[in-house]
Amino acid sequence: MLAESHGRGPAPRIERIEIGSRAFWIKRPERLNWRFRLQKGNPRAAFERERIALREMNAARAPVPDLCAEGADYIVLPDCGTDLRHLLHFEDDTMRRRALLLDAAGTLGRFHALGFSHGRPSPKDMCLSENGFVLLDFERYRHRNNTLRGHARDLVVFAFNVLAHSPNATEALPDALAAYRERAPAGTWELAQQWCGRMRWAEWVTKPVQWRRGKHGREFKAIPHLFDLFLARAQSRDI
């Protein structure tokens, strides 16, 4: 009732509500001006993609939140706990960080084994719920990406985000990729390696800006480490 009533007037895009002892999130289509629409695309289409994705993934019992309620202008999801990026940042115990990263990577592999691709998996879009990690934010979901190549791109994006934004967890990445491969469809790892091999030129092109500070600086600095992770012979044998 709250979601529907707010849907008829101005309402926050993301809204937290509590019912009894449980928390839920109401998510609505983003409202964008013309400039951001050019950058991010049609927000209504993105909202519909996410709603369709959650329906299909719930039916397949994929590691995603339950779609508790939906309407033309809203979806309602349960609170799924703390996201992985936050957990990795504030966890002081090295072995606990490693276990979290391996568990999340294994969840991504299981998600791919069900035939789905996320589109842009990041540790901030993976939350530790009561039943383990779940994936969130499917506004980039496309049926055409539900392929081995789509899975491979997901894997590269996931590893890149860990390297760029969770530096205290990067030592566990080779083991996390091994945990992923144990559950993912055969051939995904090899396609990820091929993609990195074709894109290796990006390391040299970005050399002049890899010294930058801030978020973008961290991302540029992560590029050579990403290629080393997927392409170095020693690591390829170990993983």
Residue range 93-121, pLDDT digits in tens: 999 999 999 999 999 999 999 999 999 99
CA distances from 223 to 2, 104, 163, 235 (A): 45, 22, 9, 16
Where does the pLDDT of residue 233 fall: very low under 50, low under 70, confident under 90, or very high at 90 and above? very low
Task: Residue 134: name the closest of 57, 186, 68 by CA.
Answer: 57
The whole domain housing 36 covers 2-78
Segment 10-21 mean pLDDT: 84
Q: Residues 96, 164: one domain?
A: yes
Q: Residues 179, 224: one domain?
A: yes
Which of 63, 78, 93 represents a domain boundary (last residue)?
Answer: 78
Which of 54, 78, 102 represents a domain boundary (last residue)?
Answer: 78
pLDDT at 97: 97
Residue 212 has pLDDT above 90, yes or no: no
Distance CA 75, CA 28 (A): 7
> Where are the extended beta strands (E) located within 28-173?
69-71, 74-78, 82-83, 126-129, 132-135
Structure tokens at 33: 């001006």
Residue 187 has pLDDT above 90, yes or no: yes
Could you report the per-residue pLDDT of 34-90, keeping only the tens digit for each? 555 545 567 888 899 999 999 999 999 999 999 999 988 899 999 999 999 999 999
CA distances from 50 to 25, 29, 66, 218 (A): 14, 10, 12, 29
Q: Residues 228, 157: one domain?
A: yes
Q: Residues 73, 95: one domain?
A: no
Q: Residues 95, 148: one domain?
A: yes
Count of CB atoms situated within 10 Å of the CB of 173? 23
Q: Residues 158, 208: one domain?
A: yes
pLDDT at 5: 62
Residue 225 has pLDDT above 70, yes or no: yes
Q: Residues 118, 222: one domain?
A: yes
Q: Residues 70, 94: one domain?
A: no
How much is the pTM?
0.88
Where does the pLDDT of residue 32 fall: very low under 50, low under 70, confident under 90, or very high at 90 and above? low
Q: Which residue has the higher pLDDT, 33 or 152?
A: 152
Q: Residues 73, 87: one domain?
A: no
**What's the CATH code of the domain at 197?**
1.10.510.10
Number of domains in the chain: 2
Segment 22-44 mean pLDDT: 72
pLDDT at 103: 98
Which of 17, 50, 78 represents a domain boundary (last residue)?
Answer: 78
Q: Residues 180, 213: one domain?
A: yes
Residue 184 has pLDDT above 70, yes or no: yes
- Confirm if 184 and 149 have CB atoms less than 8 A apart: no
Segment 10-25 mean pLDDT: 86
Q: Residues 108, 215: one domain?
A: yes
Q: Residues 195, 125: one domain?
A: yes
pLDDT at 239: 45
As a whole number, the mean pLDDT across the chain is: 88
